Amino acid sequence: MKSRAQYLREWRLKNPTKASEHNKAYRLRHPERDKENRDREKAKYIKKGRYRVSEEQQRKNATDYARRWREKNREKVRESSRKHYHKHKALHQLHSKIYKSKVRAGRVGEVKAKDLCTLLEEQKSLCAICKKLLSEEKEIDHIIPISKGGKHSIENLQWTCRYCNRSKGNKII
């Protein structure tokens, strides 16, 4: 003859949806017992050292681990950074130009690299002033200079060659 515990175990295996519904209804009727059970299970996991930590704690642990790894492997990190820079040199230079122009404008975070790439395509890679094909020495120019009240926005920017931008200075053309 089967014990009641064995019978219930088999019934739950044969009827998982009914067992789940029954368990939900029980937890709703007895929330204090449900909390006690959860606390008891949590204590077991803590005792065994397998209790899950919060996502915030997981991020902190991962950040700490990454920081320690970078400190131990400084040469690997430097070499990896060097390789990435040389592989994506044009993009790094573009970001540098954007940042420098934002700093000069007294603002950071208004013009995105994607917008500048679109602007370059719209200009067909031609200097906005002399209409020559732009080389690697292209620069971002403010149509109305910041010093004359112009804004650092995509509508007030144009791509120019280095010679045109430097000779233009803070004039409005």
Is residue 28 situated within a structural domain? no
CATH number at residue 142: 1.10.30.50
**Average of per-residue pLDDT across 107-122:** 80
Same domain, 121 and 71: no
Measured distance CA(121)–CA(47) in Å, rounded:
62
Residue 42 domain-assigned (yes or no):
no
**AA letter at 72:** K
- Mean pLDDT, residues 72-87: 94
The range of the structural domain enclosing residue 151 comes to 109-168
Predicted local confidence at residue 169, as pLDDT: 83
In this structure, is residue 76 part of a structural domain? Answer: yes
Question: What is the tens place of the pLDDT at every residue in 2-13?
Answer: 889 899 899 999
pTM: 0.40
Predicted pLDDT at 105: 64
Residue 116 lies in a domain: yes
**Within a domain: residue 141?**
yes
Secondary structure of the chain as H, E, C letters:
CCCHHHHHHHHHHHCHHHHHHHHHHHHHHCHHHHHHHHHHHHHHHHHHCCCCCCHHHHHHHHHHHHHHHHHHCHHHHHHHHHHHHHHCHHHHHHHHHHHHHHHHHCCCCCCCHHHHHHHHHHCCCECCCCCCECCCCEEEEECCCHHHCCCCCHHHEEEEEHHHHHHHCCCCC
Tell me, yes or no, whether 133 lies in a domain: yes
Asked, for residue 51, whether it belongs to a domain, the answer is no
Please determine, for residue 146, whether its predicted confidence score (pLDDT) is greater than 80.
no
Q: Domain count of the chain?
A: 2
Rounded CA separation 63/66 (Å) = 5
